[in-house]
A and B are shown apart, each in its own frame.
Chain A
Amino acid sequence: KAGVTQTPRYLIKTRGQQVTLSCSPISGHRSVSWYQQTPGQGLQFLFEYFSETQRNKGNFPGRFSGRQFSNSRSEMNVSTLELGDSALYLCASKANRAGRETQYFGPGTRLLVL
């Protein structure tokens, strides 16, 4: 099975711009979660989508939004970029086996805001 894929892998934007990141989960996985990772804050949960519906949301401003399509692929959008949005954005798809959830992470998209 192919793993979680994320595109693009690297991105450079300037303040005020907006960006869209894409994530394709492992085939058959219906849950996709997004995280922001920075050295100072670690992994911060953004949101989780399941069957095209947002199931959970972290404490991020409304500039961060997401959606999930019928094929379980997900996109994350950040509008009006700020310098502090520079981070590694990770997507994870989830499997539930024998009552235990396992997250599989993609390689991430590294975003640099100048």
Chain B
Amino acid sequence: TQLLEQSPQFLSIQEGENLTVYCNSSSVFSSLQWYRQEPGEGPVLLVTVVTGGEVKKLKRLTFQFGDARKDSSLHITAAQPGDTGLYLCAGAEHAGNNRKLIWGLGTSLAVNP
């Protein structure tokens, strides 16, 4: 069962444009992570958000965690070709002492020069 929905699934834009991708769930997460995966590589952690309503900035990337800790968004300003990749979100659920990550399918972003 897919518990984390990411949208859009695919996005192709021109260099310099702004974009927002979304990660939505009906479940509450203790934290949420965003990763970027480039072709032929494993995912690389970009950010972890923990508090409802939290906003984190990483250069041109702005991450927001929803107030209810069920959803998140990633906004990229003035996209560059180097931003091309698969953006994955993963929500953390805790069951007892176990921590489980629920993954979205990702948004595949292509930034054209």
Contact = CB atoms under 8 A, between A and B. Distances in A.
Interface of A: 4, 39-45, 56, 90, 92, 100-108
A59 to B, nearest CB: 10
Nearest to B88: A43
A35 to B, nearest CB: 8
Contacts of B2: 42
A42 B104 contact: yes
Contact of A106 (B42, B90, B101, B103): B42
Contacts of A105: 41-44
Given A102-B48, A105-B42, 9 more contacts: A40-B105, A41-B105, A42-B104, A43-B103, A44-B103, A105-B41, A105-B43, A107-B42, A108-B42
Contact of A101 (B88, B99, B103): B99
Given A43-B88, A56-B98, A101-B99, A4 B104 contact: no
B100 interface: yes
Contacts of A39: 105
Interface string B76-92: 00000000000010100
| Chain A binding surface, main DSSP class | strand
Contacts of A45: 100-101
B28 interface: no
6 contacts: A40-B105, A90-B43, A101-B99, A105-B42, A107-B42, A108-B41
B42 A92 contact: yes
B40 A102 contact: no
B92 to A, nearest CB: 8
